[in-house]
Amino acid sequence: MTTIRAAITSVGKYLPEDRLTNADLERMVDTNDDWIVSRTGIRERRVLREPGKATAFMAAEAAKLCLAKRGIGADEVDVILVATVTPDHVFPATACLVQALIGATNAWGYDISAACSGFLFALSTGAQFIVSGKHQKVLVIGADKMSAIVDYTDRNTCIIFGDGAGAVLLEPDDTGTGLIDSREYTDGVGTLESLWMKAGGSMHPATLETVAAGEHFIYQDGKTVFKRAVVGMADVAAEVMQRNGLTGDDVAWLVPHQANLRIISATADRMGVGMDKVMLNIERYGNTTAATIPLCLVDYEPVLRRGDNLILAAFGGGFTWGAAYVKWAYDGETV
């Protein structure tokens, strides 16, 4: 019997033009380029400053490019999944806004909230629609306008995050490529003290007091998250490799969530994968939350070859974490 898998058949990205460099941040908070580079690996991030534009805009631009490269119309898309923690509005879902912006007249869709693991969770979800035979073309998008929820007076968080969006198209494949396996985890214990946005939801709706107390910004206990991320990302990547009989030599690329270069190197170490086989763009974009992994896929697309074994891995708020084993479906750039 033929095995149908969900293959990534095209990718697209959007990055705002405005750059926020470490030198800019030195003028805003008590920090310095050396500290930021040595502790995180980040030199600059992108920030979407244009009024009237937010996550849906970036997601739609990434989606348009992804579809154009594959040469298919938006009306052929069946499902749009948007992973984000910075939706344009609490409701409607950002996916609905993207549907309208790209003119995907035959699609339905919804948002997935899993912070930095959002893209991986959405990929795994989207693949089910393909494998089940229900749908043929699923857009999976990771998009976040982190600048909307970052406190630019808090040096613990403002140095890390940036804005951006990445999109992939999933289609059925019976030739052995596509999403081979994935493993996802969630652990909500203690998460409210470590990584969250306190107000703005139904527990603490927006009031003058919540705004004055800065409760609509990200709060992160960096040390705790760092420790959990190092273990979580490395463990789950190793688990997926082990259950698929892969060694470091079999892996063409590690595609890690770009939160901190030190977390990425620890994961690569544990997998037995050299840094020359690790996709990196954290230096230029910082942590774009749900967008980091698809942005890596776009940036490295020209060097990817059909049959390459990719291990995608992420850790983030929730806590959420996971890894996916993807056998790449095509050579070089889609046109």
- Minimum CB–partner distance for residue 37 and ligand UT7 (Å): 11
- Interatomic CA distance for residues 22 and 158, integer angstroms: 10
* Chain residues in the site for ligand UT7 (CB under 6 A): 31, 35, 39-40, 116, 155-156, 159, 222-223, 225-226, 229, 259-260, 263, 287, 316
- Minimum CB–partner distance for residue 331 and ligand UT7 (Å): 31
Which is nearer to ligand UT7, 32 or 242 (by Cβ)? 32
Which is nearer to ligand UT7, 263 or 304 (by Cβ)? 263
- Active-site pick, 22, 66, 260, 287: 287
Q: Name the residue whose CB lies closest to ligand UT7.
A: 222
Which is nearer to ligand UT7, 117 or 182 (by Cβ)? 117
Active site residue 96: no
Q: Distance of CA 102 to CAs 57, 64, 76, 105, 309, Å?
A: 10, 7, 11, 9, 31
- Minimum CB–partner distance for residue 136 and ligand UT7 (Å): 33
Q: Please name the residue that has the structure tokens 């688990």.
A: 239
**Nearest 10 degrees: Cα torsion 127, 333, 46, 229:** 50
- Active-site pick, 66, 158, 257, 260: 257
- Minimum CB–partner distance for residue 130 and ligand UT7 (Å): 28
The partner residues of 320 in beta bridges, in order of sequence, read 186, 316
Backbone angles phi and psi of 199, in degrees to 5: -110, 170
171: part of which helix (H) or strand (E)?
strand 163-173
- Minimum CB–partner distance for residue 263 and ligand UT7 (Å): 6
- Active-site pick, 116, 158, 260, 296: 116
Which is nearer to ligand UT7, 119 or 328 (by Cβ)? 119
Which is nearer to ligand UT7, 121 or 226 (by Cβ)? 226
Active site residue 287: yes
- Minimum CB–partner distance for residue 287 and ligand UT7 (Å): 5
Buried b (16+ CB within 10 A) or exposed e, 127-146: bebbbeeebebbbbbbbbbb
- Interatomic CA distance for residues 305 and 153, integer angstroms: 44
* Bridge-based pairing state of the strands 320-327 and 309-316: antiparallel
DSSP structural state of residue 183: E
Which is nearer to ligand UT7, 53 or 198 (by Cβ)? 198
Give the largest Cα separation in the chain, rounded: 62
Backbone angles phi and psi of 57, in degrees to 5: -60, -50
The C-alpha angle with vertex 89 and arms to 82 and 162, in degrees rounded to 5, equals 65
Active site residue 116: yes
Cβ(20)–Cβ(285) below 8 Å: no
List residues with catalytic annotation: 116, 257, 287
